[in-house]
Every structure is written in C-alpha cells, then in structure tokens.
Amino acid sequence: MQQARSEVEALRTRMLPKAQEAVSLTRRGFEAGRFSFLALAQAEKTLFDLREREIEAAARYYTLLVEVERLTAHIPDAS
C-alpha cells in the first residue's frame, strides 16, 4: 500500500509536472518550426502514459486501503 502511495506522490509531484512542461516546450518549439510533429507526439504520449500510471497507482492504493480497512474494521456486537 505504501509503495502505491509513494508512486502516486512521485508521479503527481515530480514526473507529471516535468512531462507537462516538456509538452509545453515541445509544442512551442513545434509551432516555431524547431521540433517535428513526431517529437511533439512523443512528448504527449509520455504525458499520457504517466497520467495512466498515476490513475492505476491511485486505484491500486485505494483498493488496498479499502481492503485494509475492511480487514481491520471493528464490527459492533448486534445484541
């Protein structure tokens, strides 16, 4: 569970911002004629892939969190 949480945090705080910046810089370079469309497409694919990893890691984390809570929940006596 901690590994999934760490991955989500790393993606959100370090990797995604850098990938977004790379797309922005590549897009400006493409518009100025300095980068090819292929370079822009690759930067956008990297960003898309990182977003997908973030969603998968978050889903894994919350699934594990729910499981831990389910296993450790105190169920009051019905009587």
pLDDT tens for 15-56 read: 999 999 999 999 999 999 999 999 999 999 999 999 999 999
Q: Kindly report, residue by residue over 56-72, the tens digit of the pLDDT.
A: 999 999 999 999 888 88
Cα–Cα dist 34/26, whole Å: 9
pLDDT above 60 (res 79): no
Spell out where the chain has E strands.
Answer: none
Tokens of 32: 């100025």
User: Over 80: is that where the pLDDT of 10 sits?
Assistant: yes
pTM of the full predicted structure? 0.81
Closest CA to 47 of 31, 29, 26, 33: 26
Helix (H) or strand (E) holding 44: helix 37-72
Q: Count CB neighbours of 50 within 10 A.
A: 17
